[in-house]
Structure 1
Amino acid sequence: MDEVDDGRRDLDPADLEEVRRRVVDPVLAALFEVGEVTRVGLSPRRPAGSWWHHSDGDDGPWLQVSVGSEDFIHPIAEAGFWLEDADWAARDLAEKLSEWICESRFGWGQWRSLPDGWAVPPPLADRSTVSVHFVEDRDGLPLWVGGAPAPWLEERLSADLVADLRAWQALGTQLAEAAEAAEAADRAGSGYDEPLSGSAVHIWVEYVSEQQWLTREADEQRALAMADKRRREWIDALEPLRDELVERLRAELDSDYTVTTPPRVR
């Protein structure tokens, strides 16, 4: 997802219940008539088959919406150790659904959009709830309260815990950068610097033979599989460490704060 400059980062993409309550259900209610949607599914991994081409990894949350025999399958966010802006995620989903609807058989030519004044439901957690997620400032603490980083919590924590929180974020950044460098090397080695996606497929087919295109597609799928494997390794390395940090936070923070138990990333 693109970077969010404004707003509150108060949605954990791994919390499928909150993603459904705050993003999926309100957007569907605004864009579809009652009874029009025949199926809604939200899963932590990409379902088989996708109307909307997406070249990133398989980790979700992924949404599947069916209207009769037509399916919309698309990621809402990228699962990881960060928070998203629920309002941004909802409006992005609404835009993607609107594009799908106007190209569908049931809604051909219609452009449906969120009504004026529409807003996402607020988070269930109150402003005294502390969570452990990455922050963009690499020198900051990976602590959030009320949808905003909480560097001032450092004064309430032991020096050892503060150091370990920073080390966790540094490790995550290091692993992510190493994975990105390896993926870039994979693509460079295959001769393709950009992912195979969208209109690029059609442009490519116009200039090369079918066999060449199939070779590129196979290379791309291998690159995506390797990227997904590295991502799983990244999650496996960081998740147990975050669990330990959460327990230590509970032990050190007083009753003025509630430390959330983060859902599993996958």
Structure 2
Amino acid sequence: MDDGSACSSRLTLTFGASSGPIHARPGDVTDAEDEHLRVLKHTVALPVVTSLLSDEELEQVTIHRGIDGDPGDVWITVAAAGEEFQDLLTTPPWHGGDPDGEQHSPLTAEDCAQRLADHLEDWIAESRFGWGQQRIAHYVLPQS
């Protein structure tokens, strides 16, 4: 018995230039030009990265100012064995507050390093060169 209350939907796919949201990403300002980024690279990023990747695998580590995200975002790019890892290294909202004004414990260098280690361990296990390997980061951060 058809009462005429049928439901219908429509899906349209469009290809071409995106008019969607712009996503946060690494920018052009790197540790080569910025002293603060250079310090983060040597005190947080390199100890973690070099504990997980061999000299033969590691090609480059670069720390970037972010764009299209929160002001003050810092990104890391790691090139290893022909593959690239990019991740948000730190952002101001992680350092004591959020947009709603709620206060949190500030993120420390150790917290930042642990987060990077966790993400990099997962990426290596899914990479071509490290497929299925469970590498565990063992690093010591320099004293500031």
TM-score by length of structure 2 reads: 0.60
Offset of residue 58 of structure 1: 7.2
Hey, what does 1:30 align to over in structure 2?
A: 51
Letter in 2 for 1:64: T
CA gap of 1:24–1:104, structure 2 versus 1, over 3 A, is: same
Please say if residues 63 and 74 of structure 2, whose CA atoms lie closer than 8 Å, have aligned partners that are also in contact.
yes
Q: Deviations over 1:5-48 (max 9, x none)?
A: xxxxxxxxx9212211111110111111113111211111159x
79, 83, 90: which one aligns with 1:70 = 83
Hey, what does 1:106 align to over in structure 2?
A: 129
86, 91, 100: which one aligns with 2:109 = 86
Greater helix fraction, Structure 1 or Structure 2: 1
List gaps (5 residues or longer) in structure 2.
1-34, 96-105
Please say if residues 62 and 75 of structure 1, whose CA atoms lie closer than 8 Å, have aligned partners that are also in contact.
yes
Please say if residues 67 and 73 of structure 2, whose CA atoms lie closer than 8 Å, have aligned partners that are also in contact.
yes
Please say if residues 77 and 89 of structure 1, whose CA atoms lie closer than 8 Å, have aligned partners that are also in contact.
yes
Q: How does 1:34-49 map to 2 (within 5 A)?
A: 34-45=55-66
Offset of residue 122 of structure 1: 0.9
Indicate the RMSD between aligned Cα atoms, in angstroms.
2.6
Letter in 1 for 2:36: D
SS of structure 2 residue aligned to 1:38: strand
Hey, what does 1:237 align to over in structure 2?
A: none
Letter in 1 for 2:82: S
CA gap of 1:72–1:44, structure 2 versus 1, over 3 A, is: same
Please say if residues 94 and 107 of structure 2, whose CA atoms lie closer than 8 Å, have aligned partners that are also in contact.
no
Q: Distance in 1 between matches of 2:94 and 2:110?
A: 19
Offset of residue 69 of structure 1: 2.9
Please say if residues 71 and 92 of structure 2, whose CA atoms lie closer than 8 Å, have aligned partners that are also in contact.
no
Letter in 2 for 1:45: G
Moved over 6 A (4+): none
Q: Deviations over 1:44-99 (max 9, x none)?
A: 1159xxxxxxxx64742100001133110001110479463111111110010000
Q: Deviations over 1:218-255 (max 9, x none)?
A: xxxxxxxxxxxxxxxxxxxxxxxxxxxxxxxxxxxxxx
CA gap of 1:29–1:68, structure 2 versus 1, over 3 A, is: closer
Letter in 1 for 2:142: P
% of aligned pairs identical? 28
TM-score by length of structure 1 reads: 0.34
